[in-house]
């Protein structure tokens, strides 16, 4: 029974995946392979369903036979006993009446037992959910105060699973309110992980994080997250109108506030040019938008709450250099701490603090000039980028 559930889940999730990844499948010409794979999964569910049907049929026919044959047997045996003189006719009739009253419920009981078994496997599934610990115990935390945007990391390490290696290792970092921090490093060096740690999306496996001096462990996460904005590498747009997508955190926000955020994110003009302006429906999860538009919408969504800390994780990577400069210039007017992960030198060089990461560790930190002067990892990175743009 439990097998039935898991096989069904596998087939259905693959089906959803197949539809969502249609573009890639077609581009790779692997529709046929995908269909074959899905057929395999579907046959599995059919086989399990057949097995179940067979079992059900067995149970059904057994109980049916029992129900039909038992009165007959009782009658025959009873009649023989009565004829032999061991039983009176009255007792025999009473017994057959009683047996009928007993056997029908018994048959039903057997049929119900198989349903109980199914219930068992559903309950098992529910257990997985109930056993998951809540992210925080309400009684032991207090709501975060209004944050100024200071963040302190003390020897913070983080790994994604018990057997994984540390994605962030032994990082000590101090970010001042209103500071513009850039995280650089090659892909896989732990930039995104560190950014998520900086806004309290993950709790460190080791070490301590404090916001405005208050330990993360003592702060209620929701009140903290309402004061930080993060634009991830893969922002998700919902099948609602543009306005609802920007005002995701608080649907009661005025159109003015939404527009203001869209202007700062340099996406207002794009939205106004859409067929229905701010009411344009993004029914396809934003597939009708360009990558840059999607990123700027996600940025507007983060800005609309006026966060104390704003994290941009390669959030302007799909923009052209000029628009990216405009966005960064608009953001520098805001009163908030900015943590930006970017590859373009033009974005990184004006940061107050550049943090260079490699294999989860912070290998260098300082301003553009100081790091160039040092001639280390960052200087290498800059030289490589300059070489590739001039050649
Ligand atoms: N959700 C995740 N689950 C497990 N491992 C992850 C996850 N996200 C990232 N990692 C691993 O953590 C390391 C750092 O990744 P990431 O912080 O995304 O690097 P970057 O943003 O610098 O490219 C990588 O080795 C990556 O495989
Ligand atoms: Mg990343």
Model confidence pLDDT, tens digit, residues 59-106: 888 888 888 888 888 889 889 999 988 888 898 888 888 887 887 888
Segment 229-258 shows an average pLDDT of 90
Identify the residue whose C-alpha is closest to ligand 1 atom 2. 160
Q: Which of ligand 1's atoms lies nearest the C-alpha of 185?
A: 22
107-142 confidence digits (pLDDT tens): 788 778 878 888 888 888 888 888 888 877 777 888
13-61 confidence digits (pLDDT tens): 999 999 888 888 999 898 899 999 999 999 999 999 999 899 889 988 8
Which of 158, 160, 317 to mutate for ligand 1's pocket (most ligand atoms within 8 Å of CB)?
160
DSSP lists the bridge partners of residue 361 as 358
DSSP class per residue in 41-58: HHHHHHHHHHHHHHHHHH
Structural domains in the chain, sorted by start = 2-131 (1.20.1560.10), 151-227+307-390 (3.40.50.300)
Identify the residue whose C-alpha is closest to ligand 1 atom 20. 188
* 118 contact partners, CB below 8 Å, separation of at least 6: 1
291-333 confidence digits (pLDDT tens): 899 999 999 999 998 999 999 999 888 888 899 999 999 999 9
DSSP annotation of 335 reads: S
Identify the residue whose C-alpha is closest to ligand 1 atom 12. 167
Which ligand ends up closest to the CA of 165? Answer: 1
325-379 confidence digits (pLDDT tens): 999 999 999 889 999 999 888 889 889 999 999 999 999 999 999 999 998 899 9
pLDDT, averaged across the chain: 89
- Kindly provide the residue ranges of all beta strands, DSSP E only, lying in 168-250, ordered along the sequence: 168-175, 180-184, 206-211, 214-215, 228-231
Q: What residues are in contact with ligand 1 under a 6 Å CB criterion?
A: 160, 164, 167, 185, 187-193
pTM: 0.79
Which of 188, 202, 230 to mutate for ligand 1's pocket (most ligand atoms within 8 Å of CB)?
188
Q: Which of ligand 1's atoms lies nearest the C-alpha of 196?
A: 17
Backbone phi and psi for residue 145, each to the nearest 5 degrees, phi listed first = -70, 175
């Amino acid at each position: 029974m439990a097998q039935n559930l898991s096989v069904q889940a596998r087939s259905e999730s693959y089906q959803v995946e197949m539809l969502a990844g249609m573009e890639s499948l077609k581009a790779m010409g692997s529709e046929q392979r995908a269909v074959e794979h899905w057929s395999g999964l579907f046959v599995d569910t059919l086989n399990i369903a057949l097995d179940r049907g067979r079992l059900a049929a067995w149970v059904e026919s057994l109980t049916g036979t029992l129900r039909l044959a038992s009165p007959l047997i009782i009658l025959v045996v009873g009649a023989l006993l009565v004829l032999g003189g061991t039983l009176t006719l009255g007792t025999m009739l009473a017994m057959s009446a009683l047996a009928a009253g007993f056997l029908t419920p018994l048959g039903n009981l057997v049929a119900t037992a198989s349903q109980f078994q199914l219930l068992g496997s559903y309950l098992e599934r529910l257990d997985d959910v109930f056993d998951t610990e809540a992210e925080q115990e309400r009684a032991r935390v207090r709501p975060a105060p209004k944050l100024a945007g200071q963040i302190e990391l003390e020897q913070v390490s983080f790994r994604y699973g018990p057997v994984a290696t540390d994605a962030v290792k032994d990082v000590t970092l101090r970010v001042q309110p209103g500071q513009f921090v850039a995280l650089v490093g090659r892909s896989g060096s732990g930039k995104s992980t560190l950014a998520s740690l900086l806004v309290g999306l993950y709790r460190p496996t080791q070490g301590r994080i404090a916001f405005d001096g208050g330990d993360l462990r003592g702060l209620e996460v929701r009140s903290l997250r309402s004061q930080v904005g993060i634009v991830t590498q893969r922002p998700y747009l919902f099948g609602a109108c543009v306005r609802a997508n920007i005002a995701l955190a608080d649907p009661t926000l005025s159109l003015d506030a939404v527009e203001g955020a869209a202007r700062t994110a340099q996406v207002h003009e794009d939205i106004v040019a859409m067929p229905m302006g701010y009411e344009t429906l993004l029914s396809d999860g934003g597939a009708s938008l360009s990558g840059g538009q999607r990123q700027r919408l996600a940025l507007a969504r983060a800005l609309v709450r006026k966060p104390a800390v704003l994290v941009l994780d390669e959030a302007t990577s799909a923009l052209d250099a000029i628009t990216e400069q405009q966005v960064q210039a608009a953001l520098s007017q805001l009163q908030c701490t900015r943590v930006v992960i970017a590859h373009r030198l033009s974005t990184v060089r004006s940061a107050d603090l550049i943090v260079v990461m490699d294999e989860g560790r912070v290998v260098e930190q300082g301003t553009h000039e100081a790091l160039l002067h040092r001639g280390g990892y960052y200087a290498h990175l800059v030289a490589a980028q300059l070489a590739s743009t001039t050649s």
